[in-house]
Structure 1
Amino acid sequence: ILWNHEHIDQKINFDALLRFSHITPLTQQYLEKIYASFALYVFVAAAGAYVHATGLLSALGSLGLMIWLMAIPHKEKRLGLLTGFAFLTGVGLGPALELCIAVSPSVLPTAFMSTAMIFTCFSLSTLYPRCQSHIFLGGILISVMSLMFLSSLGNLFFGSIWLFQANLYMGLVVMCGFVLFDTHLIDEKDYIWHCADLFLDFVTLFRKLRMILALDEKDKKKEKK
């Protein structure tokens, strides 16, 4: 009891919490470049969602831009392609966001803030030296995603809502793992590709949370009726 009391009385040292002295100045500059670009692409995606059009065309366009991005080494062109990819990704999100607003206007801001909080926490946790052992996650995450894909295909025939929800929540956990994994690889890729990885992680995490919150709101409305 005495230990618990002393533990509660301890003040949180936010300076120590946010201190990254183990990261070299060069890596800090690299991080700043990545997350500044990442924030820009999230904003561009939001703009795309605001002026959304046909979801299929945007999906094909974003896929084409990603393939093009993989095929060329020129840095300036790749930045432009990644910007276009982020915009079309936002365009593709538009129709689904409208459906969420129809269910409840609170779903989108809650999903976005929750995504930002989860993404930030998992990203920061990877930057500490004691947490630099996430490289093994890659094989596990890909294996779990393969199993989820197979179960989703099987669920096309079974139509189980329980399996659908299990895949949804498992997908949320997997995406948190990918945030850890992709942040861990920060020194092994150029910043454009790393920014693309983080952007895709953020968007997928947002999609999962948006769907979970929307389904929860629909269930609440059914219970009230």
Structure 2
Amino acid sequence: MDFFERSSSWNYGAMKNFHRISEPVKRHVRQVYWTVAMALIVSAVGVYAHMLLNIGGLLTTFGFLGCSFALMNTSSSYAAQGKRWNWLMAAAFCEGASLGNFVGAVIEFDPSILVTAFVATVAVFASFSGAALLAKRREFMFLGGILASATSSMLTLHVLSSFFGGAALMFEVELYGGLLLVVGYVIFDTQLIIERAERGDMDHIKHALDLFVDFVGIFVRVLYILVSVHTRFHWT
């Protein structure tokens, strides 16, 4: 009974926190998630295009970076919305094509792993982004400094491992530690989007790019982990 009472209390408190978000910001958040969903669909098309035409590689990686840079440096005025939307979809397509080799290898190995990874990614992303939406404003903003420091530390360790060995161990650290980092960024970015929207920044395309990158980051790491676990289990 105590468990159910505490659960009801938390749910009620969470709903009150959600109601603190203004209606324009709620509409903005819905628009952001819809845009992320469209970018993921286009990214899946990019994966399929690579599997048909073998277009993914270094060129599409630079294509993603270039399109993202162009999006962020294009005016967010209403007149430029169409152009910025095209930049976002082009970036998503290039990102999908860049992942085509890895996704294709996983499909040949065991297609069920791909489905499991996508479902798990959706669950993780929705859970932590939803938690950030239901939390108090700015409650998780402190994560920004921690995540930046952790990212910098991982980059330093990666460089050191390339000189002093331990690449295999560093790969495991980057895989699992990187997953925790990206989950943290989902929480932080969601609250940052809300805070910016409350201050009048309704740039749903830029905000969608942030969450799209977070989603792909989770998906890639979950996919690697599932393949690794499946391989170890198979050989055992």
TM over 0.5: yes
Residue 218 of structure 1 aligns with an amino acid whose one-letter code is T
- Superposition pairs of residues 173-188 of structure 1, within 5 angstroms: 173-186=180-193, 187-188=195-196
CA distance in 2, matches of 1:7, 1:203: 39
**Letter in structure 2 aligned against 1:183:** T
Matches within 5 A, 1:2-81: 6-7=1-2, 16=12, 19=15, 20-52=18-50, 53-73=55-75, 74-81=80-87
State the alpha-carbon separation in 2 of the partners of residues 199 and 81 from structure 1: 13
1:30-179 matched pairs, under 5 angstroms: 30-52=28-50, 53-73=55-75, 74-130=80-136, 132-157=138-163, 158-179=165-186
The answer for unaligned runs of 5 or more in structure 2 is none
| Structure 1 residue 103 displacement after superposition | 3.0
Shift of 1:76: 2.0
Q: Percent identity?
A: 33
**1:219 aligned residue:** 232
Q: What are the superposed Cα offsets for residues 186-213 of structure 1, whole Å, 9 maximum, x if unpaired?
A: 1314211111000000001111111111
Question: For each residue in 1:90-109, what CA deviation from the matched residue of structure 2 results, as whole angstroms up to 9, or x when unmatched?
Answer: 11111010122233222111
C-alpha distance after superposition, 1:155-207 (max 9, x if no partner): 33414422211221000000010001100111314211111000000001111
Number of residue pairs aligned between Structure 1 and Structure 2: 218
**What is the CA deviation profile of residues 47-67 of structure 1, one whole-angstrom value per residue up to 9, with x for unaligned ones?**
111111232121121111112
Question: Partners in 1 of 2:56 and 2:133 — Cα distance?
Answer: 39
Contact 1:119 1:202 in 2 (8 A): yes
Letter in 2 for 1:7: D
Looking at both structures, which has the greater relative contact order when contacts are Cα pairs under 8 Å and sequence separation is at least 6? 2
Q: Cα RMSD over matched residues?
A: 2.1
Give 3-state SS (helix, strand or coil) of 1:26's partner: helix
Residue ranges of structure 1 left out of the alignment (5+ in a row): 1-5
Amino acid in the other structure paired with 2:234: K
SS of residue matched to 1:51: helix
Q: Following TM superposition, by how much is the alpha carbon of 1:153 offset from its aligned partner in structure 2, in angstroms?
A: 2.3
Q: Residue 72 of structure 1 aligns to a residue in which SS?
A: coil
